[in-house]
């Protein structure tokens, strides 16, 4: 789930006066909860909790979830630019979540100053999550992909 999607969920919570919201998507369970007193306009800060989900919709227990998340590595943006999942609008994407990737495999393109820069995987493993939407702007050091090392 991307930061943009989490912001949209927070706006939805505020708009409808919700105190807690839980959603499961793409193998992740996300729980948003306002920590301020109910009834207060705007409420307090919102706590965001994301944990990998088990098959059947159950979440991993706290310690197991933390261990699963700590095993993940990230491919980060080496520059500021625009993120593209495919080499052209009508071309297939470079990678999909769940796919095994290899060191040196092109995973995306970042356009910077009208130059298309291929971004390659620095680690082999299973691609767990794509953290950026196609066409979104990215910052230097922004996580693009989560990978479970292996292979």
- Structure token digits, residue 104: 């040196």
Indicate if 10 and 65 belong to the same structural domain. yes
Domain interval for residue 138: 73-149
Specify whether 52 is located in the same domain as 92: no
Residue 10 has pLDDT above 90, yes or no: no
Whether this model's pTM surpasses 0.85? no
Give the pLDDT confidence of 65-119 residue by residue, as tens digits.
444 445 688 899 999 999 999 999 999 999 999 999 999 999 999 999 989 999 9
How much is the pLDDT for 66?
Answer: 44
Same domain as 77, residue 19:
no
**Structural contact between residues 127 and 98, judged by C-beta atoms closer than 8 angstroms:** yes
Backbone phi and psi for residue 40, each to the nearest 5 degrees, phi listed first:
-75, 135
> Are 82 and 65 in a shared domain?
no
Same domain, 80 and 126: yes
E runs forming strands in the chain: 20-25, 28-34, 46-52, 73-76, 81-84, 100-101, 106-112, 115-120, 125-130, 137-138, 143-149
Q: Are residues 94 and 117 in the same domain?
A: yes
Residue at a domain's end among 49, 71, 93: 71
The total number of structural domains that make up the chain? 2
Of the three residues 48, 71, 94, the one that is the final residue of a domain is 71
CATH code for the domain of 81: 2.40.50.100
High-pLDDT (> 90) share of the chain, %? 40
Lowest mean pLDDT among 37-41, 48-52, 147-151: 37-41
Say if residues 135 and 86 touch (Cβ distance below 8 Å).
Answer: no
Same domain, 86 and 116: yes
Same domain as 33, residue 17: yes
Give the end of a domain, one of 71, 101, 117.
71
């Amino acid at each position: 789930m991307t930061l943009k999607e989490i912001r949209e969920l927070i706006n939805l919570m505020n708009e409808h006066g919700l105190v807690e919201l839980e959603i499961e998507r793409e193998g992740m369970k996300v729980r948003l909860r306002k920590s301020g007193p109910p009834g207060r306009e705007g409420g307090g800060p919102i706590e965001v909790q994301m944990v990998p989900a088990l098959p059947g919709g159950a979440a991993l227990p706290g310690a197991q979830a933390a261990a699963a998340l700590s095993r993940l590595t990230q491919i980060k943006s080496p520059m500021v630019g625009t993120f593209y999942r495919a080499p052209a609008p009508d071309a297939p994407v470079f990678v999909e979540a769940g796919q095994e990737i290899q060191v040196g495999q092109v995973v995306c393109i970042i356009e910077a100053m009208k130059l298309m820069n291929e971004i390659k995987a620095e680690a082999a493993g299973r691609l767990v999550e794509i953290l950026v939407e196609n066409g979104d702007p990215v910052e230097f050091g922004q996580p693009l992909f989560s990978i479970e090392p292996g292979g």
